[in-house]
Structure 1
Amino acid sequence: MILILQSKATDDQVDHVIEKVESLGLKAHLSRGTYRTIVGIIGDESKLSEERLRSIPGVSEVVPVLPPYKLASLEAHPEPSVVNVSGVQIGGGHLGMIAGPCSVEDADRMHRIAKSVRDAGANLFRGGAYKPRTSPYAFQGLGEDGLKILREVGDEYGMPIVTEVTDPRNVELVAKYADMLQVGARNMQNFVLLTEVGKTSRPVLLKRGMSATIKDLLMSAEYVLSQGNPNVVLCERGIKGFDTITRNLFDVAAVPAVKALTHLPIIVDPSHATGRPDLIPPCALAGIAAGADGVHVEVHDCPEEAKSDGPQALLPDQYQELAKQMRQLAELFQKTISPLPEALA
Structure 2
Amino acid sequence: MIVKLRKNVKVEQIEKLIGFIESLGFEVDCSFGENTTLLGLIGDTSGLDSSIIKSFEAVDEIIRIQEPYKRANRKFHPEDTVVILENGTKIGGGNFCLIAGPCSVESEEQIIEVAKRVKDSGANILRGGAFKPRTSPYSFQGKGEVALKLLLKAKEITGLPIISEIMEIGQLPLFEDVDILQVGARNMQNFDLLKALGKQSKPVLLKRGLSATYEELLMAAEYIMSEGNDNVILCERGIRTFETGVRNTLDITAIPVLHEKTHLPVIVDPSHSSGVSRLVKPLSLASVGASCDGLIIEVHNDPENALCDGNQSLRPDEFDDMARSIFRLKEAMMVV
Same fold judged by TM-score > 0.5?
yes
Number of the residue aligned with 1:215? 215
In structure 1, C-alpha distance between the alignment counterparts of 2:68 and 2:162, rounded to whole Å: 32
Residue type of the alignment partner of 2:318: Q
Distance 2:128 2:41 in 1: 44
Q: Which residue of 2 aligns with 1:57?
A: none
- SS at 1:257 equivalent: helix
- The letter for the 1-side match of 2:178 is A
Tell me the residue number matched to 1:146. 147
- Report what 1:88 is aligned to: 89
What's the counterpart of residue 250 of structure 2?
A: 250
For 2:221 and 2:116, how far apart are their aligned partners in 1?
A: 32
Alpha-carbon displacement from aligned partner over 1:106-136 (angstroms, at most 9, x marks no partner): 0011111111100000000000101111111
Matches within 5 A, 1:153-302: 153-174=154-175, 176-302=176-302
Q: Report the residue type matching 1:170 in the other structure.
A: Q
Q: Determine the structure 2 residue equivalent to 1:46.
A: 43
- Return the alpha-carbon distance in structure 2 between the equivalents of residues 302 and 199 of structure 1: 39
What is the rounded CA distance, in whole Å, between the counterparts of 1:294 and 1:127 in structure 2?
A: 17
CA positional deviation for 1:163? 0.3
User: 1:173 & 1:208 partners in 2: Cα distance?
Assistant: 24
SS of 1:278's equivalent?
helix
Q: Distance in 1 between matches of 2:333 and 2:199?
A: 35
Equivalent position of 2:77 in the other structure: 77
**Amino acid paired to 2:44:** K
TM-score (norm 1): 0.79
Distance verdict in 2 for CA 1:136–1:80, change over 3 Å? same
The answer as to whether partners of 1:96 and 1:294 remain within 8 angstroms in 2 is: yes
Could you tell me which amino acid in structure 2 is paired with residue 155 of structure 1?
A: E
* Secondary structure at 2:77 match in 1: coil
Cα distance, 1:65 vs. partner? 4.1
Contact 1:98–1:294 (CA under 8 A) maintained in structure 2: yes
Which is greater in Rg? 1
Shift of 1:44: 6.3
Q: Which amino acid aligns with 1:95?
A: F
Do the aligned residues in 2 keep the contact of 1:97 with 1:122 (CA within 8 Å)? yes
Whether the 8 Å CA contact 1:147–1:177 is kept in 2: the answer is no
Structure with greater contact order relative to length (CA < 8 Å, sep ≥ 6): 1
Q: Residues of 1 paired with 2:166 and 2:334: CA distance?
A: 34
- Alignment correspondent of 1:98: 99
Identical aligned residues as a percent:
50
**CA shift at 1:277, angstroms?**
1.0
Instruction: Tell whether the 8 Å contact from 2:42 to 2:70 is kept in structure 1 after alignment.
Output: no
- Tell me the equivalent position of 2:134: 133
State how far apart, in whole Å, the 1-side matches of 2:334 and 2:126 are: 24
- Summarize deviations over 1:218-245 as a string: whole Å, max 9, x none: 0000011111111111000000011111
Unaligned runs of 5+ in 1: 2-24, 27-42, 51-63, 336-345
- 1:74-121 C-alpha deviation (Å, 9 max, x unpaired): 111100111112221111111110000000110011111111100000
Q: Distance in 2 between matches of 1:173 and 1:199?
A: 16
Deviations along 1:190-241, one digit per CA (max 9) or x if unpaired, are 0011111111221010000000001000000001111111111100000001
2:120 aligned with 1:123, yes or no? no
The answer to whether the Cα contact below 8 Å between 1:182 and 1:204 also exists between their aligned partners in 2 is yes
User: Counterparts of 1:321 and 1:198 in 2: how far apart (Å)?
Assistant: 37
Checking the alignment, whether the CA contact within 8 Å between 2:101 and 2:118 is kept in structure 1 is yes
- Report deviation, 1:49: 8.3
SS state at 2:217 partner: helix
Equivalent residues, number: 282
Give, in whole Å, the separation in 2 of the partners of 1:260 and 1:293: 14
CA RMSD of aligned residues (A): 1.9
Which amino acid in the other structure matches residue 47 of structure 1?
D
C-alpha separation between the residues in 1 aligned to 2:248 and 2:46? 36
Once the 2 structures are TM-superposed, how far is the Cα of residue 47 of structure 1 from its aligned partner? 2.8
Against the structure 1 CA distance between its residues 45 and 327, is the aligned structure 2 distance closer, same or farther, given a 3 Å change threshold?
Answer: closer
- Check 1:145–1:74 CA distance in 2 against 1; reply closer, same or farther (3 A cut): same
What CA distance in whole angstroms lies between the structure 2 residues aligned with 1:72 and 1:45?
Answer: 12
Q: CA deviation at 1:257?
A: 0.5
Could you tell me how far 1:295 is from its partner in structure 2?
Answer: 0.6
Provide the rounded CA distance (Å) in 1 between the counterparts of 2:290 and 2:316. Answer: 25
Structure 1 CA distance for aligned equivalents of residues 173 and 256 of structure 2:
34
Report how far residue 333 of structure 1 moved: 2.4
Distance across 2 between alignment mates of 1:204 and 1:265: 11
Query: Is contact 1:124-1:161 (8 Å) kept?
Result: yes
Using the TM superposition, give the Cα deviation of residue 177 of structure 1 relative to its aligned residue in structure 2, in angstroms: 2.5
Separation in 2, partners of 1:74, 1:240 = 27
Moved more, 198-207 or 156-165: 198-207
* 8 Å Cα contact 1:148-1:177 kept in structure 2: no
Q: Secondary structure at the match of 2:334?
A: coil
Partner of 2:21: none
